[in-house]
Structure 1
């Protein structure tokens, strides 16, 4: 009732927005609440540490692996871009790339048809090495790449109009020609530093592809929490940040003249941000054009509340996940006033209470905004109860509003993001309410976001790279 009353008031003032009013909104002025106001390149960070997300995923993998737990399998390794195992001639990644690049641009039906045929023909052979088990997840989080030593890669920091900051990693081609820019939101606990996600994405999309890449830290990263004195989670606001940075890169960045187009990627929890950024992309144009050309949501969270309930309520995962996030809360305790009001550092809450705690902390942050601070399609949205937060972070309710090409790629054996209420729920929804702009595809294996080692490295790199062409 409270939201209905507020919406009626907004309509009476001519400010409420719905999907049917989208075309009218294209010509309205809008302003990002978290507009980028400053950007700086950081010196080489000698204090880069292994992120909490890498520690969590490695712990989950090691504890759940049914194979021999030889420490040798946990050592760092350096991918070369070559296939991880021999493959039949018809499964060669170069042949796949030729077929994908020969397709009409933006024809997702044909793209899905080709990769589906490829995995039906080659999936079993490509996944023989470690696709069926948690070894893939272990290898995925132990990839070694000292990207901070790369001459074309720099750590950066963004400053926003809200007073927030966020770290990132910027990789630019230095050939003087325009290239597509891929803006990437990494996953839970990721500070865009020495994180497995950052390493793998830079190898796939920068070293092995003709793209600029800009990695953005997740709001659940410890450094992000401490620097901003707040806790936030979910694609509703992180997607707005992703969109804001893409908008800045295309219109105001010092390298804007070297960008041919902008694409978005979100990994895991960051996948929720890419989905919501695709939504903001529909309503908020730059010079009458969309900011982003396409998106990939990779092993994404689609519905925040079910994803958190699963992570903190399922068998062994709940003990591991709650231990990791509790340690993070303790390290952030001195920096976040709301955290000091929420927890007793001497008594760890039960695992099942962590989604509730995270929800209240995020609600405390988002309630600082006036409803009219948000941009379409959420301008006028009132968020002052936990239920408002969970509804705002449920992408399923907005899937019909997206017309920007969006590739949702997940694995069926995901031990971190529960598929039934996330990517599978989106798949089921699109079966009954089709949207040609959103392509969902699920492979049998992948152990969350470790498709690069569940299958052959070069095959996954080929598919990611080809989608943006």
Structure 2
């Protein structure tokens, strides 16, 4: 029987379209993408100690269940600062480049589909949607991506699918940005989100809840990236202040979120690092959507777009967004805290999206992640303003995690994929009480090929395990376990002991000459897996990445082997399942 923790989903629906009185949901196959880049295997690029590896962060967060989001963020911030020398990637300023180079053929997955959602007001929102294999209800993560994002088969969408769907227990839908070209053409409107951005996310959730897929969702969670983070925060405001209008939202989270919309939009059109890219993309998009947007074809000719400078691009985009908001709020907006208000000026529009002023309305657990070295959504224009607001008016529901590095949303590249995935997942699982984490355990000597204990594999004096990782090739009957062994300069295994004083180093902070690697082959069959299910690059990468994020090697007392010379005796693989007390509730 294929094991529960990693089996590839075959999601069988009686139809690929779900309609109800207030909206429709249509699923289809994803388009293939030839995005150049590299596969993310999921293991740590450093050799953190047992106190700073991803499993330690999981246990730390789980032990703080009683803390508020604000309280746990302060505790977690301190632990991260203490561990940063061990976990941070040694080469700075390459995180964003690595992030946009993420490659993953998600179209090969049987779990993920292209989705088109029509809202009650007729608007069309496209994206990608992935389902867990279990027919039991699971939490749904609704994601709004960032500026120009189409939510198709590219690195941003794929990273979310990898983290939330494959490594976690969430169903996932990633929605295109309101600034995506397809969205503008389909809906004949040019906007930046703002006032309407959060509402649309909640309207999507309502349609999904009322659809034929609604019985699959145990709770609803909202996540935002960059500009989409502003919409996620606005959704938190609306859901908190209008609890009877929308389905209950259990958590909101955002990475590298736009806090102050006006300052951020100004920045992308005026800062030398990003303004050339932004103006070029805006120019191209304006030509593409010209015939679809009345505000454009009534006020400009296509040739006008080629003569605009940065200030004029921002003015055009802002005025188009104001025009859209003016139409939406005519007669008065109907949601608190803006009930009765009308948008008529640029000041009105941007004032209604300053999340540092609106955080006081949020009563839903909300987790924000931001890097100090973000070159796109600057710290001083965004996260710092939220920090100052919370210092002046604390909100126990708001968790702020300021990371030293990670640039724009590339935290997994800076801190290690498994480390950030674990932190993000465990924080959000705090707000999904219907789920529990369990482990499937295997005795290592029974699943490994041959007798690898003893003999030439003995650890020498002064040696200890520094890291382990899992590797798989498509179609292989085995997964390779790589054991990275720290060896002191006095060890017989150290080939360059005369050059390196390894005995003066620690296993987590030593040069490469202080390590050796032992490889062990683990049988997929003995893990309860069918090798035929992992015969392509997508499924093979999913297998090794999930193992590197969710597997734990320990002794029989379940203590880690990291930092010790104890041979691994038990392989534990964690996954989430629906608690028994919730099963009966969802069945009815």
Judge same fold: TM > 0.5, yes or no.
yes
Partner Cα separation in structure 2 for residue 343 and residue 446 of structure 1: 40
Q: Post-superposition shift, 1:404?
A: 0.8
For 1:91 and 1:292, locate their aligned partners in 2 and report how far apart those are by CA, in whole Å.
32
Aligned partner of 2:240 in structure 1 is 282
Q: For 1:226-281, what per-residue CA distance to the aligned partner results, in whole angstroms no more than 9, with x for missing partners?
A: 1111101033211111122223334x132222222111111000000011000001
Structure 1 residues 402-413: aligned runs within 5 Å: 402-413=362-373
Distance 2:332 2:131 in 1: 36
Structure with the higher fraction of residues in helix conformation? 1
Q: Which structure has the greater CA radius of gyration?
A: 2
Query: Could you say which structure has the greater relative contact order, defined with CA pairs below 8 angstroms and 6 or more residues apart?
Result: 1
Cα deviation for residue 195 of structure 1 reads 2.9
Whether the 8 Å CA contact 1:36–1:159 is kept in 2: the answer is no
In the TM superposition, 1:309-348 aligns within 5 A as 309-346=266-303, 347-348=306-307
Consecutive unaligned residues of structure 1, counting only runs of 5 or more, are: 1-34, 51-74
Tell me which of 247, 251, 260 is aligned to 1:294: 251
The SS at the match of 1:42 is strand
> Which residue of the partner structure matches residue 119 of structure 2?
160
Report the equivalent of 2:96. Answer: 137
Aligned to 2:516: none
Question: Relative to 1, partners in 2 of residues 1:304 and 1:113: Cα closer, same or farther, differing over 3 Å?
Answer: closer
The one of 249, 252, 255 aligned to 2:208? 249
Pick one of 304, 326, 338 that aligns with 2:261: 304
Normalising by the residue count of structure 2, what TM-score does the alignment of the two structures yield?
0.66
Cα deviation digits, residues 1-60 of structure 1 (max 9, x gap)? xxxxxxxxxxxxxxxxxxxxxxxxxxxxxxxxxx9932233322447687xxxxxxxxxx
Conserved in 1, the CA contact under 8 Å of 2:238 and 2:337? Answer: yes
Q: Are the equivalent residues in 1 in contact too, given 2:70–2:395 (CA < 8 A)?
A: no
SS in 1 for 2:307: coil
2:341 aligns to what? 381
The DSSP-based 3-state class of the residue aligned with 2:341 is coil
Residue 97 (structure 1) aligned with residue 55 (structure 2): no
- Counting matched residue pairs gives 407
In structure 2, do the counterparts of structure 1 residues 117 and 102 end up closer, same or farther at CA, with 3 Å as the change threshold? Answer: same
Give structure 2 stretches of 5+ with no counterpart: 1-19, 430-588
Write the distance in 1 (CA, Å) between the matches of 2:117 and 2:151.
12
**Partner of residue 41, structure 1:** 26
User: How far apart in 2 are the matches of 1:46 and 1:152?
Assistant: 14
Shift in alpha-carbon separation, 1:128–1:81, aligned structure 2, 3 A: closer
Q: Does 1:457 align with 2:412?
A: no
Q: Greater share of strand residues, 1 or 2? A: 2
Give the aligned CA root-mean-square deviation in angstroms. Answer: 2.1
Q: Which runs of structure 1 show a deviation greater than 4 angstroms over 4 or more consecutive aligned residues?
A: 47-50
Deviation for aligned residue 1:341: 3.3
Q: Does 1:115 align with 2:76?
A: yes
In structure 1, distance between residues paired with 2:138 and 2:362? 25
- CA–CA distance in 2 between the matches of 1:47 and 1:373? 41
DSSP 3-state at the match of 2:202: helix
Question: How many Å separate the matches in 2 of 1:389 and 1:438?
Answer: 24
1:446 to 375, 381, 406: 406
